[in-house]
Structures are given as structure tokens and as C-alpha cells.
Structure 1
Amino acid sequence: MPETIRAAVCREFDKPLAIETVTLADPGPGEVKVAVKACAICHSDIIFAEGGWGGELPMVLGHEAAGVVETVGPGVTGIAPGDHAVVTLIRSCGNCHYCSGGHQVLCEEVFPLDRQSPISNRTGETVGHGLRTGAFAEKVVVEKSQVAVIPKDIAFEAASLLACGVITGFGAVTNTAQVPAGAHVAVIGCGGVGLNAVQGALAAGAKTIIAIDLSSDKLRVAERFGATLTLDPVDPGHRDALLAATDGRGVDYCFVTVGAKPAIDGASQYITRNGAVVIVGMPPSGVRGEYDPGTLAGWGQRIIGSKMGSAQVARDIPELVALYQAGRLKLDELVTGRFTLERINDAIASTKRGEALRNVVVFD
């Protein structure tokens, strides 16, 4: 039977989220209901809540979650009630043109949950299934491909980060760019995604890992995560320092993990001939980047987009869990603050002020 749950609902763009009682449908065929135990605050949720990407209101946002499987719909195998799981926004059929080519984040299938949100309010009004997840809520119903079962000895707060921040940053390096050992790498932005790009570069065996951020505090954290050099882009000599660290040529790969136009526009100054700028952070709709096409062509440079780290949920999350268990992936260190659902607006405000690597909403 459908049940009532508490959720943080976005009713007006750029306004505080409202804690409301909503109704969540039962999982249908191929779907799973998960009791959310932790959901991290991602900048994508904030951009949506501010109206940066449009969308119909009301909606429940939140997409970086972990919890306990409660029920499964017909046809679901490999996932059982009681399992601990990471819940992602990546919904894939496994059979379409993109899935068959290994690009599950680009799946073109239209699922029943895409046609009809499982969330409604007391009057029967449909409430949007934000980012295909709606995890700023006590429970979620998602497609089975969005769920990855994890060991029960991993804290939910740490596990929730695997759903987006970790796979996006780490995967941009290891999946999208496939950075080879010995490469020179720069990461612009040292928030949750950027630090995981630093971790990805370390795991890939990069020779030089240069972290670039306006915040001296975040640069110090980046050093603990594996950065070999940290730079403030305001420093007029920072590019010279980058060149000195890369034999005068520049980096092979520059990962832009923030959706800020100055960062996107400035990334090309750091790369070598035949180097690549990898766009990981997503700006609000309408932001346009600028580049010199003559230099891009003449030097054989590349601009690469990376969506969700080109992740394959069933492959990547178990591999990341194994790295974490082996002490080779930092997760606990990324959790800055823990907030109840009632304090979600405080968690969002703290994130917007740049105070947090990842703030996490926790549920009893």
C-alpha cells in the first residue's frame, strides 16, 4: 500500500524547502523501495532548487543517498529487503544504443518512473521525482538499476557519497579521461567532486596532481587527499608555478569540477599541446564557455564532457567500496556536517557558503 512519509519539498525556486508529509507509491515491476538513512547535499540539488535548470514544481530533490532496502517489485533480482544500498540517479536499461556501448549514464530508455512520479501530496497533486531519486525524504522508490548493494559494515553517511560526488570526480579521471600513469593532472575546484578527482588521479598513478582553488582551507585538504601542488588562481604567478611543475609544458588533463564560467574559460591556459580539458561541473542553463578554436585545432587539444564520471553503477560502486575498505579511498573525511531533515535548509546554506565538503542529512 502507498504510505505517507516526510520529505523536503521545493515549492518555489530560490526559497527554503518545506518539510511536508507526502505519499509514496509502492514499487512497481523492476523497482525498489529504500528507507533512506543518509543523503548528502550536492550542488546539483542547489542549482535545481534555485531554478538554474528549470523544471516543474513542486518536487523533492536529493540524489546522493544510502539506506536499507525495504521492498522490491516484481522482476527484481539480486536485491533483497534488508540489504544496505547506495541509491544513485543513474537509471539504465542495459540494452539501448548507449547502454550497449558502456555509456549507462546516457541511457535513452523512458521508464515508468519517468512518466509518472511515485510521489504525491495529500490532495493528490503530483510531486516531482527530483533527479529521478527524490531522496530528501524518509524513503524513495527507484528503478532497480539505480541501486547498488553494499556491505553492512559501511556507515551510511560515507556510503551516500558514492552515489554522486565520488563516482563523478573519481570516474571523470578513471573512466572518462582514462588518465594513464605518469600523467600531469590539474583539478580546478576542491569541493567534494574535486577532491574525488584528486583521489582518482592518485589511484591512476598520475605523476603530478595540481589542485586549484580560491579557498586555502580546501587546498590544505586537497594535499591530504593526494595533491602534490596547490595553487590559488588569484595569485598572478600561479600559472608559472604550474608550468614549472610540468616541465614547462602544462598538464595533460585539467578537470573542471565546478560549474563556474571563469573556471571553465580559464582551464585551457593550463593544458599542454594535445592536452584535454575535462568538464565535470555543470553550470546553470545558459552559461557559455569561451575558447580559442585555432589553438585547440593547431595544438591538437580536446574538450571532453564527463557526466557522472561515465559510471557503471554495478561495476564502479563495488570497486570503490573495495578501495575504501583497503584504505585507499577517503570517504569519512569528506563528511563535514550531519543534519536532520528539519535542518536541511541549514545544511544547504552551509554548502552554499562554501563551508562544507559534503553536508549530509541523516535519518533515524
Structure 2
Amino acid sequence: MPQTIRAAVTRAFGQPMRVETVTLADPGPGEVLVAVKACAICHSDITYADGGWGGTVPMVLGHEAAGIVEATGPGVMRVKPGDPVVVTLIRSCGGCHYCAGGHDYLCETMFDLDRTSPLTDGTGAPIGHGLRTGAFAEKLVVEQSQLVAVGGNMPFASASLLACGAITGVGAVTNTAKMPAGADAVVIGCGGVGLNAVQGARIAGAASII
């Protein structure tokens, strides 16, 4: 049965979010219900909420989350109820042209969650599934490819940072720059992404990191 949960809803760009009671649909085929235990705030959420990327309101933002799997829809194989997981905005089918080429983040498949948000308000009107996640909420529903199970000893606040800041910073070094071992790296700015770029450079074998 659909659940009523609390979520921070963006009703107008540039205005404060409002905590509201909303309805979250059950997970469909290939989808997973997660109880959110921690959610970081990414600059992308702020830019979106301020109207920098356009789009349609109302919506529930938040895409850098960690929590516990509460239920799974038919066909879910990657996780099971009770698993601690990291939740990310990257949704991929694994079989399209881009996924087959190792570029899952460019997946061109249209999922059910792309067509219909699992969130509705008290009147039954749809609320946008912001950044494909809607994690500024007590619970969320996402496609199973958006989840990675993590060790039970990792604090949820730390695990949530892996969903965006860590993969962005490390990926900038290993995937975008393709920095070879023995190279020198310069990182300008050491916020969440910058610190992970430093870590990525260290992992990649940088001779020096400035």
C-alpha cells in the first residue's frame, strides 16, 4: 500500500522548502523502497531549488543519500530488505548503447520512474521526483540500479557522501582526466568534491598533489 511520509517540498524556485506530508507509491518492477537515514546537501540541489536549471515544481530534491532497504518490487536482484545502501541519481539499464560501452551515466533508457513520479501531495497531484531520487524525505523509491549495498559498519552520514561528492571527485581524476600514475595533480578548492579529487589522485598514484 502507498505510504504517507514527510518530505521537504520545493514549491517555488528561490523559496524555502516546506516540510509536508506526501504519499509515496509502492515500488514497482525493478524498484526499491528505502528508508532514508542520512542525506547530504549537494550544490546541485541548491542550484535546482534556486531555479538555475529550470524544470517544474513542486518537487522533492535530494540525491546524496544512504539508508536501509525496506521493500523491493518484482524482479529486484541487487538488494534485499534490510540491506544498508547508498542511493545515487545515476540510473542505468545495463544494456543500451551507452551502458554497453561503459558509460552508464549516459543511459538513454526510459524507466517507469522517468514517466511517473512515485510522489503525490494531499490532493493527489504529482510531485516531481527531483534528480531521479527525491531523498529529502523519510523514504524514497528508486530503480535498483541506483543502489549499492555497503558494509553495515559504515555510518550512514559518511555513506551518503559516496553517492555524489566522492564519485564526482574521484571520477574527475580517474575517468575525466584519466590521470596516469606518476603524474602531478593540482586540485583547486577542497570542498566535498575537491577533497575526493585529492583522494582520487592519491589512489591513482600521483607523484605529487598540490
Say which SS state the counterpart of residue 38 (structure 2) adopts: strand
1:136 aligns with 2:117: no
Say which SS state the counterpart of residue 9 (structure 1) adopts: strand
Please show how residues 1-364 of structure 1 align to structure 2 within 5 Å.
1-210=1-210
Deviations 1:266-325 (A, max 9, x none): xxxxxxxxxxxxxxxxxxxxxxxxxxxxxxxxxxxxxxxxxxxxxxxxxxxxxxxxxxxx
Select the structure with the greater relative contact order (CA < 8 A; seq sep ≥ 6).
2
For residue 16 of structure 2, what is the amino acid of its counterpart? P
Deviations 1:170-210 (A, max 9, x none): 11112232211111211222110011001101111112212
Shift of 1:100: 0.2
| Structure whose alpha-carbon radius of gyration is higher | 1
Say which SS state the counterpart of residue 188 (structure 1) adopts: coil
Say which SS state the counterpart of residue 29 (structure 2) adopts: coil
Shift of 1:30: 0.3
- Give the 4+ runs in structure 1 shifted more than 3 A: none
Q: What's the Cα RMSD here? A: 0.7
Say which SS state the counterpart of residue 117 (structure 2) adopts: coil
Paired with 1:106 and 1:57, the residues of 2 have a C-alpha distance of 24
Paired with 1:186 and 1:111, the residues of 2 have a C-alpha distance of 39
Question: What TM-score do the two structures reach when normalised by structure 1?
Answer: 0.57
Paired with 1:9 and 1:125, the residues of 2 have a C-alpha distance of 13
Shift of 1:9: 0.4
Shift of 1:58: 0.2
Paired with 2:175 and 2:72, the residues of 1 have a C-alpha distance of 30
Say which SS state the counterpart of residue 186 (structure 2) adopts: strand
Paired with 1:51 and 1:24, the residues of 2 have a C-alpha distance of 25
Equivalent pairs counted in the alignment come to 210
Instruction: Percent identity, please.
Output: 70
Say which SS state the counterpart of residue 151 (structure 1) adopts: coil
Say which SS state the counterpart of residue 187 (structure 1) adopts: coil
Q: Which runs of 5+ in 1 are unaligned?
A: 211-364
For residue 204 of structure 1, what is the amino acid of its counterpart? A
Paired with 2:188 and 2:43, the residues of 1 have a C-alpha distance of 15
Shift of 1:116: 0.3
Paired with 1:194 and 1:17, the residues of 2 have a C-alpha distance of 28
Q: Which runs of 5+ in 2 are unaligned?
A: none
For residue 144 of structure 1, what is the amino acid of its counterpart? Q
For residue 119 of structure 1, what is the amino acid of its counterpart? L
Paired with 2:112 and 2:94, the residues of 1 have a C-alpha distance of 16
Shift of 1:147: 0.5
Paired with 1:92 and 1:34, the residues of 2 have a C-alpha distance of 18
Paired with 2:124 and 2:154, the residues of 1 have a C-alpha distance of 37
Q: Is the 8 A contact 2:133 2:141 kept in 1?
A: yes
Q: Is the 8 A contact 2:78 2:144 kept in 1?
A: no
